């Protein structure tokens, strides 16, 4: 209990950790300035990569088709 109170008091005098701006470039990904659109007319996959054709009993194929 006493150590908890001491940690609170030490927190008042301890400076907050700040991230170096150069380090922030690599740690946090930045959203692109140009909007990225998905092509709705693109060719959709008909089955998963596990086999050569669509199988109705394969749950992965079912998810891709939906």
Secondary structure letter of residue 25 according to DSSP = H
DSSP structure string for 3-48: HHHHHHHHHHHSPPP---HHHHHHHSPPPPSS-----TTSPPPSS-
Q: Which residues contact 53 (CB under 8 A, 6 or more apart)?
A: 46, 47
CA 59 to chain centre: 24
- In tens digits, what is the pLDDT along the chain, a chain of 66 residues? 999 999 999 989 988 878 888 888 888 887 878 887 777 677 777 888 888 899 889 988 888 887
Q: How far is the first Cα of the chain from the last one, in angstroms, to the nearest whole number? A: 56
The pTM of the whole model exceeds 0.75: no
């Amino acid at each position: 209990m006493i150590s908890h109170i001491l940690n609170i008091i030490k927190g008042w005098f301890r400076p907050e950790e700040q991230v170096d701006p150069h380090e922030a470039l690599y740690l946090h990904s930045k959203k692109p300035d140009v909007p990225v659109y998905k092509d709705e007319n693109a060719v959709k996959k008909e089955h998963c990569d596990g086999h050569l054709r669509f199988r109705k009993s394969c749950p992965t194929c079912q998810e891709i088709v939906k």
